[in-house]
Amino acid sequence: MVSMEFIYLAIPMASLAGAIIAGFFGKQIGRSGAHCVTISGVAVSFILSLLVLNNVAFEGAPIYNQSVYTWMISDGIRFEVGFLIDGLTALMMAVVTGVSLMVHIYTIGYMHDDDGYQRFFSYISLFTFSMLMLVMSNNFLQLFFGWEAVGLVSYLLIGFWFKRETAIYANMKAFLVNRVGDFGFLLGIAVVLMYTGSLDYYEVFDRADALVAATTQVIPGIDWSVITLACILLFIGAMGKSAQVPLHVWLPDSMEGPTPISALIHAATMVTAGIFMVARMSPLFELSSTALSFVIVIGATTAFFMGLIGIVQNDIKRVVAYSTLSQLGYMTVALGASAYSAAIFHLMTHAFFKALLFLAAGSVIIAMHHEQDIRKMGGLKKYMPITYWVSLVGSLALIGFPGTSGYFSKDAILIATKNADVWGADYAYWAVLLGVFVTAFYSFRMFFLVFHGKERMDEHTRSHLHETPPVVTVPLILLAIPSAIIGWFTIETVLFSDFFDQAIVIFEEHGAMAAVAEAFHGPASFVLHGLAPGPTWLAAGGVIAAWIIYLKKPGWAAQIKSKLELPYRILDNKYYFDRFNEIVFAATARAVGQVLWRLGDALMIDGLMVNGSARLVGWISGKLRHVQTGYLNHYAFAMISGLILLLGWVVLG
Amino acid sequence: MYADWPLLSLVIWTPILGGILVLFAGDKEPAGARKIALVVSIVTFLLTLPLYTQFNTDTHLMQFVERQDWIAAFNIEYYLGVDGISMPLILLTSFTTVIVIISAWEVIQYRVSQYMAAFLIMEGFMIGTFSSLDAVLFYIFFEAMLIPMFLVIGVWGGANRIYATLKFFLYTFIGSVLMLVALIYMYTQSGSFAIFDFHHLKLSLTEQVLIFLAFLVAFAVKVPMWPVHTWLPDAHVEAPTGGSVILAAIMLKIGGYGFLRFSLPITPDASAELDWLIITMSLTAVVYIGFVALVQRDMKKLIAYSSIAHMGFVTLGFFIVFRIINSGHGDQGAGLALEGGMVQMVSHGFISGALFLCVGVMYDRMHSRQIADYGGVVNTMPVFAAFMVFFAMANAGLPGTSGFVGEFMVILASFKASFWIAFLAALTLILGAAYTLWMVKRVVFGDVANDNVAALTDINRREFLFLAILALAVLGLGLWPDPLVEVMHPTIDNLINHIANSKL
C-alpha cells in the first residue's frame, strides 16, 4: 500500500513533470509526445484526486495536515510547504484536475495547427500544478505562491500569441490588476502573521482571538478592528483573482488568449481561487460582520452590473466572459451571506457548465474559421448538432433551469441570500434575483444568434461549416453530462452533510445556510419548488424576451438600442472603467515618473546638487584666482586688514 | 582538513595574484589569458565553498579568524574573519566573478588580459572588504576596489564614460573620506582599529550621531540610497556588461554590509534616533524610483533604477528593527527584517546580474540599449526570451524565485513597525511588476519590430551556460531559502541583542 503522503505529493508533481518535459524537451519529444506526456501527467493527477475525494467523502479519511518541507525558519516563524487535505481541498482537487484533463484533450484539436503546440501543453500543465499547490496548501505562504504562480501562467497564456499587440497588452494588464489585488492580499497576510505569529492555517485559526481582541489605527485617531482589516485586505486579493468590481477589468481582456485557457483558467478554475480562499478562511471571515458586508456588496454589484454588460457584447467569448464575472459575483454574494458551502457548490457546477460553454464557443470558433462575432453567425444548429445540444445544456445550467446542476447551486445561493442578515444583504438579494433575468436574457440572446435564425456568415465560411472532430466534441459531451446532472446527485453531500464541517466554520448568528437546509427536502422536491413563482419564472422571462427580440422580431433589437441610447453607450463602454484606469492610473503613473525623473533626478539632484556644487567650486576658485594678483601691495593690504580684524576681535570680543 | 588553512587569506590573495599573473601573460595570447582567468576564478570559488560547508551555525563568533600585527605603532592588524553576515556575501562575490569571466569570453576583444585581471583583482579586494575585521584594513580594501572598477568603466566603457567614471569616483570617494575621519576618531577613543572594539566603545549621543552620519554618507552612496543615487544609472549605462554585473551584484552590497557591520552596532542609539531618516529614504527609493524606472527608455538605466528600488528593501529591513523592538508586541519580526534585508542583497545579486547580462546579450548583437530599438525579440531568440521573462518575473518578486523571499520577509516585518510603512513598501508589487513587465512587453514580445531584430540569432552555448546557472540560483533560493537564512541566525540574533541595549 502506497502511503497517502506519497499520493498527495504525486498529485501536483505528476502535472509538474508533464509541464517540465513538454516545456524543456518539446522539440525532442515532438507534438504527439508533448500531449501524451502532459495528458498522462494530468490524468494521473485526476485519478489520484478522485481517489482522495472518495477517501475523504465516503471512507471518512481523517484530515491530513502535514508539511512537506520547511521552506525557511526565521525569527522562530516556520515557513512551511505542506498539504491540508479535507473535504474542501478534495473537492477542489477533483474539479481542477477534471476540468484540466478535459481541456488538455480538447486542446489537441483546438491548437492543432499552432506553432506553439508543445509550449501550450507545458503551460496548461504548469497551471494545473500551480492551482493544485494553491488549493492543497496548509499555510499562507504556499497559498500566496500558488496564487501568484497561477497568475504567472495566466500571464503567459493570455499573451500566448505574442505577436498580437492586443494579447500582450491584455496579459500585462491582467498581471498588473492582479498585482493590485495581491498587494492587499500580502498586507492581509502580514496582519495575520503579526497578530498570530504563524502562517499555518490551523494555528492562525486557533489564535484568531488575538485578531478579534486587537484594534489598530490605520488613520490616526480611528480605531479599526484588526480582524476586519485582515479580512478586507485578504478579500482584496480575492477581488483581483476572482475579478470582482473594480478589479474585474482584466478578465474580459484575457479572452485574447486561446479558447482552451479561457475555459480552464479564466472560467473554471483560477478565477475561483478567490472564492476558494475566502471559504478556506471562513473561521476568520465569520468573526467580522463588517468584512462580510463588504464581501456581499462587492459580490452583488459584480453579479448584476457585469451581467448587464453581457447583453451588449457581440464577441462570443466576451459574452461568456461577462457571464463568468456575473457568476463569480453570485459566488461572492454567497460567501458574504456566510453560505460558504453554497459558494463552493456553485463554483463546482459553474466549473463544469462554464468550461462547457467556453469549449463549445471554441468549437463554434473553429467551425467559423476564427470568426468570433455572433452577428455574423446564425443557424449553426443544423451544421453542428453536437455543439448545439451541449451548448443548450450549458446555457440551461447557466440560467438555472430546474434540474440542471446550475439550478441547484444558484437556488441555494438565492435562498441563502434572502435569509442573510449582514448589512447589505437586501441589496444583494435584489441584485442576484434580477440577475437571474439578466443571465437568462444574455445567454439565450447569444444562443439564438449563434444557432438559430438567419445564416449571416459569408458564403465561403458557410460552405466549410461542419461539426468539429471528436477530440473536440468528446470533451464537450464529457462536460455536458456533469453540467446536466451533477447538482442532483451532489447537493445533499456538499451542502447538507458533514462534508465541509471541518473546513468551513459558520457561526450560529449567520443563519443563511441553516435556512437553506430547512427549505431542502431532497433534490426532487427542490426541483418542484423551483416551478413555483420565483427565480425560475424570471429566468423563463429572460429566455422568452431574448427569443422575441432576437428571433421573432429581429427589428426590435435595433429599435430598443436607439431608444435606450445612453444606457446602451454606458454598457458598451463597460461603465468606462477601462478609460478611467487608463487616464487616472496608467497616464498619471507615467506622468509622475516623468516629473520625478526630469525634475527630481535630472534637475534637482543632478542639476542643482551635483553639477551645481561642481560649478560652485569652479566659480569660487575663479573668483579667488583674482585675489592672487602677484602685486606685493595687494598682499600687504590684505595682511594688514586681517591683522586689524583679528586685533579688533580679540580686544573687543 | 581546512581547519588549519588560512582560508580567507587564500580567497583574497588567490584572485589578486592570479590577476597579476594574467596581467603579465599579456595580450599576445588572449585565449591563454581567458583560460588562466577562468581557472583562477573557479579555484577561488571552490576555495570559498568550505566557508559555507565548514561554517558553524551555532555561534555568532567570528570564524576562520586570522589575526596578526601589521602596523604595530598604530595597533593596526591584519585581522580577518567571517560571520553569518559576511560569509554569504563572499560566496556571492566568488560566484559572480566566475559568471563575469565566462560572460566576457569572446565579447571583450580589446586588452583582454587587463580586463580579466581587473575583475580578478577586484574580486580579491571585495572579498577582503567583507572579511576585514580591522577598520584600516577594511578601509584599504574598500577604497582599493574602486580602482579596478574605475578602470573597467573608463577603458571598456561607452561614449560618455569619462563623466560617468568621474561622477562614480567622486561620489564614492567623498563618502568614504568622511568614514575615514569617523574611524580615526574612534581609534583615538579606543586605541584600537579592531571593529569589535568599536562595537563596545561607549559613545555619547552626539558622538554617535556624527559618526552615524559619516557612515551614512559612505554607505548610502554605495547602496545607493535616494538622493545620492544618480551616479548609478550613469555608471551602469557606460560600464561594460561585466562591470555592471559586479557593480550591481557586489559593490552595492558593500553599502548594505557596512550598515550591518558598522552603523547599527557602533551607533545603535543614533540609529534608533535617526531611523526615520533611513526609513524615509528607503521608502522613497521604493516608490519614487519605482515611478522613475517606469519611464526609462534605456534598458540599462531601467534596471539600474530598479536596483535602487530593490536595494531600498535592504536598508528598510535593516532600520525598521528599532520600531519593531519598540512596538510593544515583542521583538519577533526584528530578525525577520534583518534576515530579509540580507536575503534581498543576495537575491538582488543574482537577479540584477542576470538582467544586466541579458541586456548585454542583446547589446552585443544590436549595439543598442534603447527599448524603442527592440520589439518581438522572442521571435528570433526564443530561448533567450524565456530567460529574460524568467528573470523579469524574478525582478517583479514572483514567489518561487529569490526576488520574492527578501521582499516578502521585509514587508511582513514592516507591518509590525507601521501599517503605512508596509503599505508603501508593498507598492513594489505593483510598481516593480509595472516597470519590468512593460519593458518585457516592448522588448521581448510583439511582432518583429525591424530588420535588426529579424536578424538576431539566439544565445549560444556559452550564453546559455551563464544564464542557466543564474536561473538555477534564482530558483533554488526561491524554492528553498533556508540554507541561506540558517547560517545568519546566530549572528543576527546577537546583533539584535547588541543594538537593543543602549550605549548611553
CA separation (Å) from B370 to B172, B190, B214, B298, B359?
A: 28, 53, 38, 5, 10
Q: Give A-chain residues touching B377 at CB under 8 angstroms.
A: none
Span of A206-220, A381-395, B351-365 with lowest mean pLDDT = A206-220
- Average pLDDT of chain A is 89
A-B contacts at Cβ under 8 angstroms? 138
| Separation CA A315–CA A574 (nearest Å) | 14
Distance from CA of B437 to the nearest CA of A (A): 7
- Quote the CA–CA distance of A38 and A46 in Å, as a whole number: 12
For cell 492586443, name the residue. Answer: A166
- Count of all residues that appear for chain A in the document: 653
Q: In which element (H, E) is residue A88 found? A: helix A87-110
pLDDT of residue A2: 67
pLDDT at A394: 94
Q: Which three cell numbers stand for residue B292?
A: 522613475
State yes or no: pLDDT of B150 exceeds 90: no
Residues 6+ apart with CB under 8 A from A403: A487, A488, A527
Total Cβ atoms within 10 A of residue A161: 17
Cβ atoms of B444 and B380 closer than 8 Å: no
Q: Residue A214's closest chain B neighbor by CA?
A: B329
Ranges A425-429, B12-16, B172-176, B367-371: which has the least confidence: B172-176
Report strand pairing: B63-71 vs B76-82. antiparallel
Which band of pLDDT confidence, cut at 50, 70 and 90, is reported for residue B328? confident
On the question of a cis peptide bond just before residue B227, with omega within 30 degrees of 0, the verdict is yes
Please check whether residue A129 is in contact with residue A385, taking contact to mean a CB–CB distance below 8 angstroms.
no
A535 has a pLDDT exceeding 60: yes
Chain segment B355-366, per-residue pLDDT in tens = 999 999 999 999
Q: How far apart are CA A103 and CA A95, in angstroms?
A: 12
Does residue A57 contact residue A86 with C-beta atoms inside 8 Å?
no
| Amino acid at site A372 | Q
- The amino acid at residue A548 is I
Q: Does A213 touch chain B (CB under 8 A)?
A: no
Q: Is the pLDDT of residue B1 over 60?
A: no
Which among B125, B140, B91 has a CA at the least distance from the CA of B19?
B125
Radius of gyration of chain A (CA): 30
For residue A473, the surrounding DSSP H or E stretch is: helix A470-491
The answer to ipTM > 0.90 is yes
Q: Report the residue of chain A nearest B163, measured CA to CA.
A: A611
**pLDDT value at position B214?**
93
How far is residue A501 from each of residues A208, A237, B229, measured CA to CA in Å?
18, 25, 56
Q: Please state, in angstroms and rounded to a whole number, the distance separating the CA atoms of residues B346 and B87.
A: 11
Q: Say if residue A653's pLDDT is above 70.
A: no
The amino acid sitting at A180 is V
CA torsion B130→B132→B137→B138, rounded to 10°? 40
| Mean pLDDT confidence for A91-108 | 92
What average pLDDT score do residues B391-420 get? Answer: 93
* Cβ contact, residue pair B399, A144, below 8 Å: yes
Local confidence band at B3 (pLDDT 50, 70, 90 cut-offs): low
What distance in Å separates residue B194's CA from the closest CA in chain A? Answer: 29
CA distances from B94 to A112, B47, B138, B481 (A): 48, 9, 18, 19
For residues A381 and A384, give the distance between their C-alpha atoms in angstroms, rounded to a whole number: 5
CA distance A604 to A602: 6
State the Cα–Cα distance between residues A496 and A493, nearest whole angstrom.
Answer: 6
Poorest-pLDDT segment among A333-337, A562-566, B295-299 = A562-566
Rounded Cα–Cα distance for residues A346 and A210 (Å): 33
Backbone φ, ψ for residue A478 (5° rounding): -65, -30
Q: Given CB atoms, is A183 within the 8 Å cutoff of chain B? A: yes
Please give the pLDDT value at position A1: 52
**Statement: residue A276 has pLDDT above 80:** yes
pLDDT the model gives residue B2: 55
Among chain A residues, the shortest Cα distance to B383 is held by: A24
Q: Is B312 helix (H, G, I), strand (E, B) or coil?
A: helix
Q: What confidence score (pLDDT) does residue B27 get?
A: 72
A149 in B contact zone (CB under 8 Å): yes
The pLDDT value recorded for residue B26 is 74
Q: A180: which chain B residues are within 8 Å (Cβ-Cβ)? A: 430
CB burial of A488-515 (b: ≥16 within 10 Å; e: otherwise) equals bebbebbbeeebbeebbbbeeebbbbeb
The pTM assigned to this predicted structure is: 0.93
How sure is the predictor about B502, in pLDDT bands with cuts at 50, 70 and 90? confident
Range of lowest pLDDT (A32-41, A431-440, B23-32): B23-32
Average pLDDT (A66-74) is 92
State mean pLDDT over A457-470: 87
The grid coordinates of residue B249 equal 551584484
pLDDT (average), residues B277-304: 92
Is A78 within 8 Å of chain B by CB? no
Q: Strand ranges (DSSP E) for A34-175?
A: 64-74, 77-85
Whether the pLDDT of residue B4 is over 60: the answer is: yes
pLDDT band at A391 (very low <50, low <70, confident <90, very high): very high
Q: A602 vs chain B: nearest CA distance in angstroms?
A: 8
Which cell goes with B349?
545579486
Q: What is the pLDDT of residues A43-52, one digit of tens each?
A: 999 999 999 9
- State phi, psi for A62 to the nearest 5 degrees: -70, 160
Mean pLDDT of A135-151: 94
pLDDT for position A126: 95
Per-residue pLDDT averaged across A349-374, rounded? 91
Residues 6+ apart with CB under 8 A from A266: A154, A251, A254, A255, A257, A321, A324
Tens-place pLDDT, residues B83-133? 999 999 999 999 999 999 999 888 877 888 888 999 999 999 999 999 999
Q: Are A64 and A85 in contact (CB under 8 A)?
A: yes
Per-residue pLDDT at A9 exceeds 70: yes
Shortest CB distance from A75 goes to which of B333, B398, B429?
B333
In the predicted structure, residue A281 carries a pLDDT above the cut 70: yes
Find chain A residues with C-beta within 8 A of B398's C-beta: 148-149, 152
pLDDT, mean of residues B347-351: 95
- Which are the contacts of A481, defined by CB distance < 8 A and separation ≥ 6? none
Test mutation, B230, B301, B380, chain A, max A CBs within 10 A: B230
3 state DSSP class of B345: helix
Contact B492, B62 (CB under 8 A): no
Selecting from A168, A179, A187 the residue whose C-beta is nearest the C-beta of B446 gives A168
- Confidence check: pLDDT of A297 > 60: yes
Cβ proximity of A579 and A572 under 8 Å: no
pLDDT averaged over chain B? Answer: 91
